[in-house]
Chains A and B, each alone.
Chain A
Amino acid sequence: MGKLFRRYWQPVLHTDELPEDGCPPVRVKILSERLIAVRTPEGEYGLMDEFCAHRGVSMFFGRVENGGIRCPYHGWKYNADGQAIEVPSELNNSEFCKNVKLRSYPLVKVGDLLWAYLGEPKMQPPLPTWEFATVPSGQTFTSKRLQESNWLQALEGGIDSSHVTWLHGGGPTGAGLEADPLFAGAKGNQYNKGDVKPSFEVVENEGGLLIGARRNAEEDHYYWRVTPWVLPNFTLVPPRGDHPVHGHFWVPIDDENCWAWSFDYHPTRDLKEAEVAAMKAGAGVHSKNIPGTYRPEANKDNDYLINRDKQKTGELFSGVEGIAIQDSSLQESMGPTVDRTKERLVATDAGIIKARQKLRRAVEALRDHGTEPMGNVPEHQNIRSVAIVLPADQPFVEGIGDGFEARAGVRQTTV
């Protein structure tokens, strides 16, 4: 699976984390590798082995200088590609340098994020084109939080639509999602409430799967909420009314932790001030983090601040505030990597069963035949989630038409 991940660009830092040329370096752990990200005074981004090639000290303590970063221990200096450019202790400085290089990976800015590619250089896919990262800056907002569980466990929560009416039920007015400023007031919410037992359709799609939740709407019509999953770790949530569209990237830090990147974007308008304020405060899919960190304030050490009174009255079905923490509290409670041999799945878990099968097939095809995985090219990334009302006898993929396609200047298909 690690090899598969190395065929994709993955978000590793928010641009705010390396805010200006020559700023302090940042430690990055991804796919179990410890790396250091730098932004040189000349504005070059670099991502390299965290530890100095000399005696292995952390370059986090290094000094960013013109042309690169210098190790504080004995002064070896590396450029943004990890190439040693000065080794002061050696007499024939330049010759020695040539053979000293820290492993490094490309780090590029697309939208408000810095993306890394950790695979073989010659297999490098095109830069990411996800719509949330490529719309104008004012139309998008991204946050991240540490999730103390395996990435797949988190992803499986993202495509498991049948937990939504349960876990995310209740709310300050007893009205569930209606109470969240980032969801309230959409017509779709009424269909949601009118039919609490959705049916599901799991449809193959080029880059992954489309998971459609269908509820009864007006006579002979269904209300569809369609969640795309693109291999290996990208999901979108279906839109509601004119609210921004949101989604997630679940990026493995190691086997037992991942970054949950959560974004909200609107394809055709700027986010409103009130919306951004709500996102920053941890509404919607975002979280309120401990200042200066990406660890949520409600975390496993304080039982996610569960409120048993609200749980009892049903004001919050789970007793835990906020969609993001409702999800993480339960996914982390399963243990860092849940033992899937002890699961008892039911038929409505077919979407998860199918996603696992696709991941396994992709890993095997890559390993045995070098098959290029899906999801790392623009054709698979220009995708949208959809909410729509369709006649009962129509395949949803037909009815939605090009509503799945991310097209600049065209509004999302939403109810």
Chain B
Amino acid sequence: MTTPISVSACARAATAEEAAYRIDYPLAYARSTRVVAFDETAAKTVRSVSDGPWGKAQFYTTSDSGEELITLDGERRPMAMEIEHSDSVIMVATNSIVSNAAAAVGVACRERSIMTAGLLLLDAGALGGDALSALRPYARILLVPADEEDLFELLKGIRA
């Protein structure tokens, strides 16, 4: 059964002219994005992207266990509390990812249904299976390999 198009409805899909008149209101920032670097090399990239024009994004490295997130100013905060009110966590690592920190953060996100994305930066040579295994189970989407511009574009895209 198809319903006839009623006279009061906009019978046609949007046209270019109409699109130009779409109601214009500023988009709010995403609620809050956390960007976490899991090794020294990744931290450099995160640091350099962090001075972008961001709204509510926050940038960290982690303690070895992942129980603490460390702000770029060196302040240590409990990880669980820091991610509690975020809507996405972006995990950044390179082949030199070593600790179990990614697992701790990943599990905490999963328990809270927080969207996760992973960026594996290629520091040297081919991508290591270990780096992949460390992030893969926890990232809803993984960019392999990624670079600084990817992190920037992703943050821009999600209005972080």
Contact = CB atoms under 8 A, between A and B. Distances in A.
Given A199-B141, A202-B141, A335-B19, A346 B129 contact: no
Given A202-B143, A337-B16, A394-B129, A350 B117 contact: yes
B143 A354 contact: yes
A369 interface: no
For the residues of B in contact with A, the DSSP-based class is: mixed
A353 B110 CA distance: 24
Interface string A296-312: 00001111011111000
Interface stretch (B54-62, B96-104, B144-152): B144-152
A344 B154 contact: no
A164 interface: no
Given A347-B90, A347-B116, A201 B141 contact: yes
Nearest to B116: A347
Contact of A332 (B13, B27, B90, B129): B13
Interface string A203-241: 110000000000000000000000000000000000000
A305 B154 contact: no
Contact of A351 (B2, B18, B141): B141
Contacts of B14: 333-336
Contact of B15 (A307, A335, A344, A347): A335
Interface stretch (B36-44, B68-76, B132-140): B132-140
B150 A200 contact: no
A339 interface: yes
A143 to B, nearest CB: 22
Interface in B51-109: 88, 90
Given A336-B19, A395-B132, A348 B149 contact: no
A315 interface: no
A296 to B, nearest CB: 13
B125 interface: no
Contacts of B15: 335-336
B159 interface: yes
A103 B36 CA distance: 56
Contacts of A350: 117, 141, 143, 154, 157
A interface bracket (residues with beta carbon within 8 Å of B): 35 or more
Contacts of B11: 301
Contacts of B16: 256, 335-337
A37 to B, nearest CB: 28
Given A300-B13, A345-B157, A337 B19 contact: yes
B7 interface: no
B19 A339 contact: yes
B130 to A, nearest CB: 9
A199 B139 contact: yes
Contacts of A300: 12-13
Interface string A274-304: 0000000000000000000000000011110
A343 B13 CA distance: 18
Interface string A348-362: 111101101100000
B124 interface: no
B141 A200 contact: yes
Contacts of A256: 16
B128 to A, nearest CB: 9
A109 B157 CA distance: 41
Given A256-B16, A350-B117, A393-B129, A200 B140 contact: yes
A260 B140 CA distance: 30
A203 B144 contact: yes
Contacts of A353: 150, 153-154, 157
Contacts of A303: 2, 5
Contacts of B149: 357
B49 interface: no
B157 A333 contact: no
B107 to A, nearest CB: 15
Top-7 shortest CB links A-B: A335-B14, A347-B117, A335-B19, A300-B13, A345-B157, A200-B141, A353-B157
Given A303-B2, A337-B16, 6 more contacts: A200-B142, A300-B13, A302-B2, A305-B2, A350-B157, A354-B153
25 contacts: A199-B142, A200-B142, A201-B144, A300-B12, A301-B11, A302-B2, A307-B2, A335-B14, A335-B16, A335-B18, A335-B19, A342-B27, A344-B27, A344-B30, A347-B90, A347-B115, A347-B140, A349-B157, A350-B157, A353-B157, A354-B153, A356-B153, A392-B136, A395-B127, A395-B132
Interface of A: 148, 199-204, 256, 300-303, 305-309, 332-339, 342-351, 353-354, 356-357, 392-395
